[in-house]
Amino acid sequence: MTPPTLEVAAGPLTFQNPIVLAAGTAAYGRELADVMDLERLGGLVTKAVSLEPRSGAAAPRVTDFDGGMINAVGLANPGVDAVLAEDLPWLAAHVRAPRVLVNVVGREAAEFGAVVARLDGATGFQAYELNVSCPNVRQGGLEFGADRDALTAVVQGARAATRRPLFVKLSPTLPQLADAARTAVDAGADGISVINTIPGLVVDVARRRPVLGFGSGGVSGPGLLAVGVLATWKVRQAVSVPILGVGGVQHATDVLQYMIAGASAVGVGTAALVDPKLPARLARELATWCEANGVARLADLVGTLEWPR
């Protein structure tokens, strides 16, 4: 039997396999080159990039707990000029097969388009992921994804600045997730990423203070799997653009759950921080699973979920 093909298409992007390093957990790629073989990945999403450098939240920024991990990094990043000068040239020179998406963040709607406009002449990446799960300072901290007008402004601003594919990353806490996905697509998004972290608090009982320097943070890790798979399914029902499913992936069967629910590619974050060899192993395990189950093309599984009647 010929080996199964793991290649998946997400609109105009083709990934050699569906495994993508999730935003914020791969830095800008080169930080991981010593601990993982990046060429085995389907893709990687960079850490957030904002117009100005951001120093981020007070330490400690990350802690683990039985349910997974919580972080308040505060979207620390060196700013778009440093990413243009240092990180994208490295990606252009060293990353061949994986597709690279640059994660973009802003404090106000116009910042997203401004960052995309600054980046768009550069090489080293193929697409953008707009992180609209962050607070909009102009609207008292309400996240962009939660407000139809702000979401439209973010996506339209970015759309006007590039022809590269735009993925919009939504939070599972949005009460109207399907509506937000539709709004993003109507404004020009080519894909939807779900999910970002969910808000949480871990208390240091002895000190009666939050463990994280910022106070609350975003929960990631295994507990997010079922939340992310449902979000993927909801988005699949609402729009027909490709979905990047993210949240809680640890096993090849987790990747398959996302794909069956409708994701074309699947992000791995926390579990890859714990074990940098995991992403390459997941790709191998997917091939083994396909062989064992007579699946010639992994992509054929996308969106095949049968909902109980």
Question: Could you say which DSSP state residue 2 is in?
Answer: P
Backbone angles phi, psi at 261, to 5 degrees: -75, -10
Q: Where are the alpha helices (DSSP H) in the chain?
A: 80-82, 88-94, 109-119, 148-161, 177-186, 225-238, 252-261, 270-274, 278-292
In 3D space, the residue among 3, 5, 15, 6 whose CA is nearest the CA of residue 244 turns out to be 15
Binding region for ligand FMN (CB under 6 A) out of 176-184, 205-213, 229-237, 244-252: 244-252
- Decide whether 23 or 283 has the Cβ nearer to ligand FMN: 23
- Decide whether 20 or 299 has the Cβ nearer to ligand FMN: 20
- Decide whether 13 or 273 has the Cβ nearer to ligand FMN: 273
Cα 309 off chain centre by: 32
Closest approach, Cβ 98 to ligand FMN, in A, equals: 16
Closest approach, Cβ 96 to ligand FMN, in A, equals: 23
| Amino acid in position 268 | V
- Decide whether 204 or 275 has the Cβ nearer to ligand FMN: 275
Binds ligand FMN (CB under 6 A): choice among 24, 29, 98, 245? 24
43 near ligand FMN, judged by CB under 6 A: no
Binds ligand FMN (CB under 6 A): choice among 177, 181, 224, 259? 224
Question: Is there a catalytic annotation at residue 134?
Answer: yes
Closest approach, Cβ 171 to ligand FMN, in A, equals: 9
Pairing of strands 43-45, 99-104: parallel
Neighbours of 209 (CB within 10 A): 11
* Binding track over 162-181 against ligand FMN, x by CB under 6 A: -------x------------
- Decide whether 4 or 217 has the Cβ nearer to ligand FMN: 217
Closest approach, Cβ 74 to ligand FMN, in A, equals: 10
Q: What is the DSSP string of 46-73?
A: PPPB-SS-B--SPSP-EEEETTEEEE--
Pairing of strands 198-200, 217-220: antiparallel
| Catalytic annotation, pick one of 32, 100, 134, 282 | 134
- Decide whether 53 or 295 has the Cβ nearer to ligand FMN: 53
d(CA 262, CA 305): 8
Q: Is 102 helix (H, G, I), strand (E, B) or coil?
A: strand
Consecutive H or E run containing 194: strand 191-194
* Binding track over 73-102 against ligand FMN, x by CB under 6 A: x-x---------------------------
Closest approach, Cβ 299 to ligand FMN, in A, equals: 21
Binds ligand FMN (CB under 6 A): choice among 4, 6, 42, 47? 47
Q: Is 20 helix (H, G, I), strand (E, B) or coil?
A: strand
d(CA 214, CA 72): 6
Both tokens of 217, joined, read: 């943070």
54 near ligand FMN, judged by CB under 6 A: no
Residues 183-202 that bind ligand FMN (CB under 6 A): 196-197
248 near ligand FMN, judged by CB under 6 A: yes
d(CA 250, CA 247): 9
Q: Interface residues with ligand FMN (CB under 6 A)?
A: 22-25, 47-48, 62, 69, 71, 73, 75, 103, 131, 169, 196-197, 220-221, 224, 246-249, 268-271
| Catalytic center residues | 134
